[in-house]
Structure 1
Amino acid sequence: MMLNHDTYAGYTDFCTRYELACPADFNFSYDVLDVKDPQQVALIHVDDAGIRREFNFGFFQETSCRLANSLRSQGIGKGDRVMLIVYRRVEYWTIMLALHRIGAIPIPSPSLLTKKDIVERVNYADIKALFCEDSICPRVNEALPECKSLNVLVQIDGMLNDGWFGYETFMAEGAASCPRTVETPGGDDPMVIFFSSGTTGMPKMVLHNYKYPFSHYTTGAVWHDLNEGDIHLTVSDTGWGKSVWGKFYGQWMAGAVIFVWDFRGKFDASKLLEIVAENKITTFCAPPTIYRFLVREDLKAYDLSALRHCTTAGELLNDSVFHAWKAALDMPIYEGYGQTETTLQVATFKFMEPKPGSIGKPVPGWDIALMDEEGSEVPQGEEGEICIRIDKPVLGLFESYMDEPEKTASVKFDNWYHTGDKAWADEDGYLWFMGRTDDLIKSSGYRIGPFEVESALVAHEAVIEAAVTGIPDDVRGHLVKATVVLASGFEGNEVLTKELQAFVRDLTAPYKYPRIIEYVADLPKTISGKIKRKEIREADLKKYV
């Protein structure tokens, strides 16, 4: 499948001519993987020790067939749920592709899951099989007595644990052929489950069907601007939906090579820049947090001449980071927006003028409106909830919250999917994200989105990260409070507090500056890296109210 995405004259032309027509029985393993040239390089992998390996499509065609047949021999088939905890290992791609062949439903999961997390998720999702690296096995073994549904355990590397299959042997025992039959899943069949971030309560199981990968063509070919032979790096753990956004479906559909850096331990910005330079990465995507660390490095000290296109998603990009990156590399960063429940639904593409801080404009195929609490569209310039019209099928939108019809009905009703995210639109139709509906702060009659204040704070050289929340106040309703992580060499004291407050007042409307600033070593985050503002608010209620 190819589209000439270089020829769009602008956003209007793009919306007029761009359309995705997904085959009714689409299955990525058969319709994309199996039609690729077996000798073509599919993936380049660099492990934590710096060992670089290349894998062609023939490797994934054969290994996914073998693994699919081995799983069938153990009774794993259509509808069975399978957990993956495998870091950024090559086996991740083989396992996912094998499960797509047989209709078993993968549940990619992050490596930070505790024994308690594993027990809760296995029982909640009725998981039948589990793949993990040897370093994760002790936690799984601890959880096993409480996980009655698990009956197939596959270990990757290390001294084999009792009761486990060794991955290489298990995979190799399957036949190398796995032809498509009338039983092969596709189209509207359930394909993958992602657990949502779970900032409060048990994470929801977000279910997508087999058409979901097709929508990611837009992500790879148009937003990432990928062409045949490009080498693309998305910084993401395979335990989250962002991984298939940036290192799987759309990239292979666009003809690009997926680059994977399986680093372990603490993130090292200088090492990432070395990886990008040494491996001639052409297109790059990372969350704003990564870019915030990268721009503090001497970018001109690295040979980034192969790099030609950069994107970001997951949070909002701070203006100061955008300008620092563009000044150093003469290259803008194009933002995108979506959720675990969707694919790319709003973005700035290369044929659009990026506005720092804006997430862009709606992607063709996503009929988006900003709505008030009564379900009416808000005027231009006013904030509203991002909602997606669903009176007809939307390619890339989740099917349901698996096994939870009430939760599904709470966000899908009256022909709209309610994202729970707030934004406003400017005179050019660009959307400006404000945050989750429960993150907005009401102070002295004003409604303040946390991002603008956070963005102003991190523009100061002393601030690495910031989370802005509201503290109840009898006079103003809420006071704006900032929880701040400082850069090395700075000390949180009254002098710095006054300096930061003045700095924010200069960059934003005066009523938005934080009247309280607290300095911390780290911000509370979910295992997907999102700030837990609710946890900060709850702690503040005990501390300040």
Structure 2
Amino acid sequence: MSSTNLQPEAGIAGMFISTSKDENGVLNAIEFHNDDRFNFAYDVVDVLGKSKPDKLAMLHIANDGKERRITFKDMMVYSNKAANYFRYLGIKRGDRVMLVLKRHYQFWFAILALHKIGAIAIPATNLLVKKDFEYRFKAGQIDAVLCTSDGKVASEVERASKTYDGLKAKIMVGPSTLKGWSNFNRDIRFFSPEFKKPADVPGGDDPMLMFFTSGTTSYPKIAAHSYKYALGHYITAKYWQQVDPDGIHFTISDTGWGKALWGKLYGQWLCEAAVFTYDFDEFYASQIMQMIEKYKITTFCAPPTVYRVLVHMNLAKFDLSSLKTVATAGEALNPEIYEKFYKATGMKIMEGFGQTETTLTIGNLQGMEPKPGSMGKPSPQYTVEVMRADGSICDTGETGEIVISVKDGLPEGLFLGYYLDEKRTESVCYNGYYHTGDTAYMDEDGFLWYVGRVDDVIKSTGYRVGPFEIENEIMKLPYVVECAVTSVPDPMRGQAIKASVVLTEGTAATDALKKEMVRFFRANLASYKRPKVIEFVKELPKTVSGKIRRVEIKEKDWAQEDDPHKYASTGEESKDE
């Protein structure tokens, strides 16, 4: 596409981003400029703080219901105070600072302050315990920690710090009773609301952010992102979540994982939209719906797990008329959930795909008619292919690995690599492509359909079977809330297919129900795709970001491979195998 067809985006984003659309209004090209030294905190937040000081940046609701309306001027002022405070504590450019702040509003002050200083922000979940912190401190060479005073987080950090001497500062949001800790809320008041911008401003390709990945296998890797990552989320917010500059966007996410920065900061504020943050301790779907109704949320994004709960509620009793667009990502969305939600609300869930290492890579974008069960089409920000193991490109309908071209350099939003781990970086970035480890196929219309992780694919009786298509069928059963399909050892087939199933409340887990499910499998699945083992479970193992950990189920089952009676079938084997 010729750059003459590109037009600057509206508002502050137009300084850095130009786009073009096809005859149907669907985004088909994007170009970034003035990004060599781009720094989100200075170039977006501070500019809006001065030009639109009273514009709402965040509506924050504490767990006790207290409301805080925080403007862009507030964000500018308090991030300046925090930057001065961090400098006073000895935090400098290049230092790595872990933020364990749940959904506290102080997270936004702190991360913007770190961007201004040039220190590297490392969000982390409050679910971590001593051994998790020990690993992260050493692997990430952490210099400072800012954490919540809620629960046992600070005491776990303190215990972990006994085996790691690299922390120059331990800071708590809230009153501190631990010796040697600083009090963020108290201390920040004494620092200037003006922060002198350094002559050598951090930005562009400099490291800004690191995530410990929430992958479904192995110990967490550390994905490092540059300051351009923030620009990379413009499509995420504008064309996928479709945020409104005069509206309020609500993404359900703890700040400890990447989805928070997909939906609670960069792209939304580039669009000048306010973000909604509810700092809850426990998830109750009815409370989420009440928040949408009360605060007139205009756009909403949540992982598929949330929608699986919502479709089992009476959504008609909530006034959701303010909602214009709903979206999902994190793992594949079952078509059955899409259809149920659409029937209940009249809204089509816009599915998207990306990773900790990327921004939105594939999605159902503004102006597109989504296909239930499809991730959508590749974002014009990336050159996406579906690739065979030998490096050749798959044909239409053929399953292969999702890869992103890096032949012309790293596109905006793609990670810099894994921190201090060149071997792991080279294992996913080679021959001109970043290899996602996820498999899919592309249909004749260019839509991508998720199959599973490369290591989730089941090899049974000579067939290769992706778990997601089987899970989609199981999710059609009205008494199933969630399920996971994995392999178990089988002396005849090598691997057999197992379904771990979470039932709706009040549904009895009986042998009769298993037999009913087997009859359903016979009627709806090819013989080689039918689960031979069904296990009813109270919950499925998940990562902190809500992804189902099939690998944990698989590892547990394969550890018992020597027990010949462990995986006896339901007694309803298909007769046509």
Q: TM-score surpassing 0.5? A: yes
Offset of residue 21 of structure 1: 3.1
Say yes or no: does 1:324 pair with 2:324.
no
Q: Which residue of 2 aligns with 1:105?
A: 120
Once residues 327 and 223 of structure 1 are traced to their aligned partners in structure 2, the CA distance between those partners, rounded to angstroms, is 21
Q: Secondary structure at the match of 1:88?
A: coil
Deviations 1:183-215 (Å, cap 9, x if unpaired)?
A: 220001000000001443321110000111001
Alignment partner of 1:129 is 2:182: no
Structure 1 range deviating more: 451-460 or 224-233? 451-460
Structure 1 residue 348 corresponds to structure 2 residue 364: yes
- The worse-fitting range, judged by mean Cα deviation, of 522-531 and 273-282 is 522-531
Partner of 1:387: 403
CA contact (8 A) 2:100 2:126 kept: yes
Task: Summarize deviations over 1:225-249 as a string: whole Å, max 9, x none.
Answer: 1221111000011001111001100
Matches within 5 A, 1:432-447: 432-447=449-464
Query: Does the 8 A contact of 1:505 with 1:512 survive in 2?
Result: no
2 CA distance for matches of 1:476 and 1:20?
Answer: 52
| C-alpha separation in 2, matches of 1:19 and 1:447 | 39
Closer/same/farther in 2, CA of residues 88 and 442 from structure 1, 3 Å limit: same
Classify 1:287/1:380 alpha carbon distance in 2 versus 1 (closer, same or farther; 3 Å): same
Cα pair 2:330 2:546 within 8 Å, conserved: no
Q: Give 1:488's aligned residue.
A: 505
CA shift at 1:277, angstroms?
Answer: 0.7
Query: Aligned to 1:28, which of 15, 18, 40?
Result: 40
1:19 Cα shift? 3.1
Query: Residues of 1 paired with 2:111 and 2:261: CA distance?
Result: 10
Structure 2: runs of 5+ lacking an equivalent: 1-7, 12-17, 563-577
List per-residue Cα deviations over 1:76-95 (Å, max 9, x = no partner).
Answer: 11110001111001001000
Q: 1:276 to 1:10 in 2, by over 3 A?
A: farther
Report SS of the residue matched to 1:32: helix
- 1:73 has 2:88 as partner: yes
What does residue 193 of structure 1 align with? 210
Instruction: Give the aligned partner of residue 245 of structure 1.
Output: 262
String of CA shifts for 1:288-319, please: whole Å, max 9, x gaps. Answer: 10001011111110010101101000011111
Q: Which residue of 2 aligns with 1:292?
A: 308
Map 1:278-427 onto structure 2 (within 5 A): 278-393=294-409, 394-427=411-444
SS in structure 1 of the partner of residue 307 of structure 2:
helix
Q: Secondary structure at the match of 1:277?
A: helix
Whether the aligned pair in 1 keeps the contact of 2:59 and 2:276 (CA below 8 Å) is yes
The residue aligned with 2:135 is 120
Secondary structure at 2:402 match in 1? strand
Residues of 2 paired with 1:369 and 1:7: CA distance?
A: 22
Q: Give 1:47 deviation, angstroms.
A: 1.4
Letter in 1 for 2:190: E
Aligned CA distance change for structure 1 residues 13 and 456 (closer, same or farther; 3 Å): closer
Structure 2 Cα separation of the partners of residues 326 and 116 of structure 1? 43
Say which SS state the counterpart of residue 146 (structure 1) adopts: coil
Q: Please say which of residues 488-497 and 235-244 is displaced more in the overlay.
A: 488-497
Aligned-partner Cα distance in 1 for 2:89–2:19? 47
Q: Distance in 2 between matches of 1:147 and 1:476?
A: 49
What are the within-5 Å matches in structure 2 for residues 35-114 of structure 1?
Answer: 35-36=47-48, 37-114=52-129
Mapped partners of 1:218, 1:526: distance in 2? 26
1:198–1:305: structure 2 CA closer, same or farther, 3 Å change rule? closer
Q: Post-superposition shift, 1:9?
A: 4.9
Aligned with 2:293: secondary structure?
helix
Gaps of 5+ in 1: none
Question: Which residue of 2 is the match for residue 2 of structure 1?
Answer: 9
User: Which letter does structure 2 place at the counterpart of 1:243?
Assistant: A
Root-mean-square deviation (CA), in Å?
Answer: 1.8
Q: CA deviation at 1:6?
A: 12
Does the CA-based 8 Å contact 2:470-2:529 persist in structure 1? Answer: yes
